């Protein structure tokens, strides 16, 4: 057991900061309402340190409070898709030796999402933060399909080009559109009997490897991911399959 | 704070931009598009949708036996032959009636029949413009940089609540972000909408709802709050027409954005942007160009010359559509990696350069997005530096950065924090830019010189190859687009000698005399 709580300035103090807006004109009663609301959330020692009008019918609050609950970190599992990242040369070598051909990788922002910054950072030659993108690798043949690619269009492309890996990117998360699109892609690949042949990867600032696993993906990569991490994962996964 | 600038290089850049766009202008003059024609239909008073939700302007275009003469001739002939109004003609077409052959009606007769409706459309645009001018005189805005925020809930009624709250918190411009797919649909949806992804559909009714709410809050606050939407994508001219009728104040409108970043056909975009901008010129709407996109999709330090080159090209296109400089809101963005030493100096150089090169343009400055993470505390600081750059260099239209950028579409509280940040920085440092002098041959001045020289080189390359060929070979944003590829190409057509667009005629005349 290793129970821990948020740390303010003393071990176990449980200090957290919250901020939120209430749809009410500001008054002292609004401050008190904010305090009681935080109390109903289960917090103790509540201090509403800032409460003020931000519009005629809305008030904004900054609150410090202590939580009575703790978490046992030893019981938490969230495996990362990133381990022992290989260099570009090592990835190319792994692919050349174990697979013996270029791996075809298709990437797209699926559904109506038009935000390609993330997928471009992973795929484009230039890469991200000095780490080269997949186009730079000899071991990959990259198809960056771009933005607003319908799920069935991506699956059709994957079949026609016999791709080894799909990178599906979602930035917009409004009303759960990202989960719906990711799910639709996994299900369609399954229905088309392509799922087992393809390394399926989800990406986006809100994506975690845990979420991706729940959605039936091989891996998920979130904010700050470097291209080399994705390259390593794809190369290892395909190499494992070839060996098996 | 003034940069010493090589004026010969500036003159050369403008000459090159002119040489780049003039051949395109010849192409534009010989072509029209379905969206231009649907805009004409809307300006003649046609609105509404059929039982399946297909807008009547689309039904009318689909019913044309030949497009090459333009929708106005067909509409004029139908009005002359049947005595119906254009709206009644469109409703009859939607009910399955065929349009009469315009060749059967003498040109003078069909033009005369449509003339009252053309005049009424122009009169509505002019009335909206006069109304804006009167409100601005009575309810003056605060000093620039004008604080601009976006609302993007997907539901126009929630957007309205957010817009009013933002205005109360100091916003001077409110933009309603569109649903992400709207730029790619070849019609303008009808009616009030409450479902959208990453934004809210642009419809005429949604425009009316927001305009009414902002007018009310403008009166209450004693300062006019502007409304912005997007004349981009496949329906650029129709949005420009609708915005002119409903008194929007600004429109995002770029001569190349759709081509590069939305894969819309280049011929379609060039023709559409021209008519859109003619309408914007008449309606007094300020355009906002999209140079920020060059910076978000590639390295911002490398792309600085592309931003400046694009500003010159946008300016050249806009002037040729009759837009005066005071309506050309050229874009730039604060997107340099915060980890880069002296990155702030480079931002300052670029912003000041644009200010001096386009002195009468209401420059649009876009906030950091690319390097914003879930670290909202650092994000708020980066936004503060962006705000400082903007006030020091006298930017005109300031899109407030959100500390939650890259997390979610803004919460109501996020907007209030962003406006508070901007008001604080711009208040406390209001006169800073005017107090400082730029060190001769220092980092800032050298950077500005390099960017200008880079832009001239880029423009030289484009002028040599021609704009369409340059786009085909990936000169802009490393994106290659085929001349006959992309979305909406099938909606481009060559005009025949009998082609008639009474609005383009009236707007071109106005441009010549302006």
B245-to-B57, B86, B132, B285 alpha-carbon distances in Å? 16, 17, 12, 11
- Chain B residues near residue A173 by CB distance under 8 angstroms: 408
Predicted pLDDT at B512: 44
B353 and B497 part of one domain: no
Q: Which of B364, B365, B370, B499 is catalytic?
A: B364
- List of residues 6+ apart from B394 with CB closer than 8 A: B144, B145, B355, B433
- How close is the nearest chain A Cα to the Cα of B306, in Å? 17
- Say which of A54, A146, A205 has its CB closest to residue B416: A54
How high does pLDDT run on average in chain B? Answer: 95
Strand partners, A146: A108
Q: Is the pLDDT of residue A190 over 50?
A: yes
Instruction: Say which residue the tokens 């009013």 belong to.
Output: B164
B247 and B307 part of one domain: yes
- Report the alpha-carbon angle B169-B173-B175, nearest 5: 110
- How close is the nearest chain A Cα to the Cα of B474, in Å? 14
A197 and A117 part of one domain: yes
A55 and A160 part of one domain: no
Alpha-carbon gap, residue A228 to A133, rounded angstroms: 7
Tokens of B199: 């934004």
Predicted pLDDT at B263: 86
- pLDDT above 90 covers what percent of chain A? 76
DSSP assigned state of A128: B
B194 and B88 part of one domain: no
- Chain A residues near residue B261 by CB distance under 8 angstroms: 114, 147
Mutate to test the interface with B, among A18, A20, A58, A115 (most CBs of B within 10 A): A58
B311 and B396 part of one domain: yes
Q: Where are the alpha helices (DSSP H) in B52-177?
A: 56-63, 71-82, 86-94, 107-138, 156-168
Predicted pLDDT at A166: 96
Domain extent for B66: 29-120+492-513
Domain extent for A191: 88-243
C-beta separation of B192 from B205 below 8 A: yes
Q: Is the pLDDT of residue A244 over 80?
A: no
Active site (catalytic) residues of A: 126
Give the pLDDT confidence of B71-103 residue by residue, as tens digits.
999 999 999 999 999 999 999 999 999 999 999
Tokens of B333: 């963005």
A100 and A214 part of one domain: yes
Predicted pLDDT at B455: 98
CATH of the domain at B210: 3.20.20.440
Predicted model pTM: 0.88
Task: Tell me the mean pLDDT in the region B419-424.
Answer: 98
Q: Is the pLDDT of residue B224 over 50?
A: yes
DSSP assigned state of A30: H
- Chain A residues near residue B370 by CB distance under 8 angstroms: 117
Handedness of CA A108, A114, A118, A120 (dihedral sign): positive
Predicted pLDDT at B514: 41
Closest residue of B to A59, CA-based?
A: B413
- How close is the nearest chain B Cα to the Cα of A116, in Å? 8
Q: How many residues can be counted in chain B?
A: 514
CA-closest candidate to residue B176, choices B245, B216, B225, B122: B225
Give the pLDDT confidence of A32-76 residue by residue, as tens digits.
999 999 999 999 999 999 999 999 999 999 999 999 999 999 988
Give the pLDDT confidence of A99-149 residue by residue, as tens digits.
999 999 999 999 877 788 889 889 988 778 788 999 999 999 999 998 888
* Contact check, Cβ <8 Å, B165/A177: no
B80 and B166 part of one domain: no
- Say which of A21, A117, A172 has its CB closest to residue B180: A172
Q: How many residues can be counted in chain A?
A: 244
- How close is the nearest chain A Cα to the Cα of B340, in Å? 11
A210 and A160 part of one domain: yes
- pLDDT above 70 covers what percent of chain A? 99
Strand partners, B119: none
* Contact check, Cβ <8 Å, A58/B412: yes
Q: Is the pLDDT of residue B360 over 50?
A: yes
Instruction: Say which residue the tokens 């502007």 belong to.
Output: B226
B56 and B189 part of one domain: no
Give the pLDDT confidence of B48-68 residue by residue, as tens digits.
999 999 999 999 999 998 999
Task: Tell me the mean pLDDT in the region B319-338.
Answer: 97
C-beta separation of B248 from B261 below 8 A: no
Residue B469 lies in a domain: no
| Res. B513 pLDDT band, cuts 50 70 90 | very low
B71 and B191 part of one domain: no
* Contact check, Cβ <8 Å, A148/B180: yes
Residue B82 lies in a domain: yes
- Chain A residues near residue B408 by CB distance under 8 angstroms: 173-174
* Contact check, Cβ <8 Å, A174/B197: yes
Between A24 and B508, name the one with better pLDDT. Answer: A24
- How close is the nearest chain A Cα to the Cα of B376, in Å? 12
- Say which of A117, A146, A174 has its CB closest to residue B263: A146
Alpha-carbon gap, residue B133 to B247, rounded angstroms: 11
* Contact check, Cβ <8 Å, A54/B169: yes
| Res. A181 pLDDT band, cuts 50 70 90 | very high
* Contact check, Cβ <8 Å, B165/A126: no
Residue A199 lies in a domain: yes
Predicted pLDDT at B510: 54
Predicted pLDDT at B509: 66
CATH of the domain at A47: 3.30.30.60
Tokens of B208: 């009316």
Residue B128 lies in a domain: no
Instruction: Provide the number of structural domains found in chain A.
Output: 2
Q: Which of B117, B201, B257, B365 is catalytic?
A: B257
Residue A81 lies in a domain: no
CA-closest candidate to residue B351, choices B325, B331, B379: B331
C-beta separation of B106 from B140 below 8 A: no
For the question of residue B334 being annotated catalytic, the response is: no
Instruction: Say which residue the tokens 């931009």 belong to.
Output: B17
- pLDDT above 90 covers what percent of chain B? 90
Alpha-carbon gap, residue A3 to B512, rounded angstroms: 77
Cβ pairs bridging A and B (under 8 Å): 77
Cis omega before residue B145 (within 30°)? yes
DSSP assigned state of B486: S
Task: Tell me the mean pLDDT in the region B327-337.
Answer: 97
* Contact check, Cβ <8 Å, B298/A114: no
CA-closest candidate to residue A50, choices A64, A38, A69: A64
Chain B positions contacting chain A at CB under 8 Å are 154, 164-166, 168-169, 179-181, 183-184, 197-198, 261-263, 296-299, 370, 373-374, 406-409, 411-413, 416-417, 478
The angle, 0 to 180 degrees and rounded to 10, between the axes of the packed helices B304-320 and B266-283 is 60
Q: Is the pLDDT of residue B432 over 50?
A: yes
C-beta separation of B5 from B357 below 8 A: yes
B231 and B340 part of one domain: yes
Q: Max alpha carbon distance in chain A (Å)?
A: 71
B308-to-B21, B115, B502 alpha-carbon distances in Å? 16, 42, 35
- What one-character-per-residue DSSP string does B292-327 give? HHHHHSS-TTTTHHHHHHHHHHHHHHHHHTT--GGG
Predicted pLDDT at A1: 63
Q: Is the pLDDT of residue B352 over 50?
A: yes
Give the pLDDT confidence of B165-199 residue by residue, as tens digits.
999 999 999 999 998 778 889 999 999 999 987 78
* Interface pTM, i.e. ipTM: 0.90
Task: Tell me the mean pLDDT in the region B455-460.
Answer: 98
CATH of the domain at A98: 3.40.50.280
Instruction: Provide the number of structural domains found in chain B.
Output: 2
Between A243 and B134, name the one with better pLDDT. Answer: B134
B50 and B186 part of one domain: no
């Amino acid at each position: 057991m290793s129970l821990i709580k948020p740390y303010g300035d003393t071990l176990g103090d449980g200090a957290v900061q919250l901020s939120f807006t209430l749809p009410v004109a500001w008054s002292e009663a609004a401050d008190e309402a904010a305090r009681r609301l935080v109390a109903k959330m289960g917090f103790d020692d509540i201090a509403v340190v800032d409460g003020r009008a931000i519009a005629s019918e809305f008030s904004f609050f900054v609150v410090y409070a202590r939580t009575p609950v703790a978490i046992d970190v030893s019981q938490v599992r969230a495996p990362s898709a990133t381990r022992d990242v290989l260099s570009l040369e090592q990835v190319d070598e792994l692919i050349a030796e174990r697979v013996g051909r270029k791996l075809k990788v298709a990437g797209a922002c699926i559904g109506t999402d038009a935000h390609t910054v993330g997928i471009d950072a992973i795929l484009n030659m230039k890469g991200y933060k000095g780490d080269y993108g997949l186009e730079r690798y000899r071991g990959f043949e990259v198809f960056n399909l771009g933005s607003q690619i319908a799920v069935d269009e991506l699956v059709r492309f994957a079949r026609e080009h016999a791709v080894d890996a799909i990178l599906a990117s979602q930035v917009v998360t409004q009303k759960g559109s990202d989960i719906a699109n990711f799910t639709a892609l996994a299900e369609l690949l399954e229905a088309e009997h392509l799922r087992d042949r393809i390394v399926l990867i989800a990406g986006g600032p809100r994506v975690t490897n845990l979420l991706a696993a729940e959605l039936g993906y091989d891996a998920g990569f979130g904010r700050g991911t470097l291209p080399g991490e994705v390259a390593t994962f794809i190369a290892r996964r395909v190499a494992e399959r070839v060996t098996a | 704070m003034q940069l010493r600038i090589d004026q010969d290089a500036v003159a050369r850049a403008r000459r090159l931009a002119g040489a780049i766009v003039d051949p395109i202008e010849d192409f534009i003059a010989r072509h029209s598009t379905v969206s231009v024609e649907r805009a004409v239909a809307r300006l003649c008073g046609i609105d509404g949708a059929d039982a399946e939700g297909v807008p009547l302007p689309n039904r009318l275009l689909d019913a044309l036996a030949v497009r090459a003469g333009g929708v106005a001739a067909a509409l004029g002939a139908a009005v002359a032959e049947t005595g119906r109004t254009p709206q009644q003609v469109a409703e009859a077409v939607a009910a399955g009636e065929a349009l009469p052959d315009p060749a059967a009606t003498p040109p003078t007769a069909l033009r005369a029949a449509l003339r009252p409706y053309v005049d009424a459309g122009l009169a509505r645009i002019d009335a909206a413009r006069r109304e804006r001018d009167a409100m601005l005189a009575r309810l003056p805005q605060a000093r620039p940089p004008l604080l601009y925020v976006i609302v993007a809930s997907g539901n126009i009624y929630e957007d309205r609540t957010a817009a009013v709250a933002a205005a109360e918190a100091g916003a001077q411009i409110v933009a309603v972000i569109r649903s992400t797919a709207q730029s790619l649909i070849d019609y303008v949806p009808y009616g009030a909408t409450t479902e959208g992804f990453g934004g809210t559909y642009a419809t005429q009714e949604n425009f009316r709802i927001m305009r009414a709410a902002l007018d009310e809050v403008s009166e209450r606050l004693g300062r006019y709050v502007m409304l912005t939407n997007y004349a981009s994508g496949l329906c650029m001219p129709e949005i420009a027409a609708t915005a002119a009728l409903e008194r929007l104040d600004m429109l995002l409108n770029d001569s190349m954005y759709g081509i590069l970043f939305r894969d819309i056909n280049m011929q379609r975009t060039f023709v559409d942007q021209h008519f859109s901008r003619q309408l914007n010129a008449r309606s007094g709407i300020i355009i906002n160009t999209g140079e920020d996109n060059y910076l978000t999709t590639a390295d911002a330090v490398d792309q600085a010359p592309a931003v400046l080159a694009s500003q010159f090209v946008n300016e050249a296109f806009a002037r040729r559509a009759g837009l005066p400089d005071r309506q050309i809101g050229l874009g730039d963005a604060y997107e340099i990696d915060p980890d880069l030493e002296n990155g702030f100096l480079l931002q300052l150089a670029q912003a000041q350069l644009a200010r001096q090169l386009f002195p009468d343009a209401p420059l649009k400055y876009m906030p950091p997005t690319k390097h914003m993470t879930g670290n909202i505390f650092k994000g708020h600081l980066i936004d503060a530096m962006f705000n400082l750059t903007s006030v020091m260099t006298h930017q005109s239209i300031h899109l407030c950065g959100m500390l939650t950028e890259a997390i979610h579409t803004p919460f109501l509280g996020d907007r209030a924090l962003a406006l508070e940040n901007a008001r604080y920085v711009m208040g406390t440092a209001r006169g800073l830019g005017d107090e400082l002098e730029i060190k001769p041959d220092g980092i800032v001045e050298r950077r500005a010189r390099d960017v200008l020289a880079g832009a001239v080189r880029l423009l030289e390359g484009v002028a040599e190859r021609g704009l369409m060929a340059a786009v085909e070979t990936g000169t802009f944003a490393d994106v290659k687009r085929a001349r006959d590829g992309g979305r909406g190409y099938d909606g481009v057509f060559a005009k025949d000698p009998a082609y008639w667009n009474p609005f383009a005629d009236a707007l071109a005349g106005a441009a010549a005399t302006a």
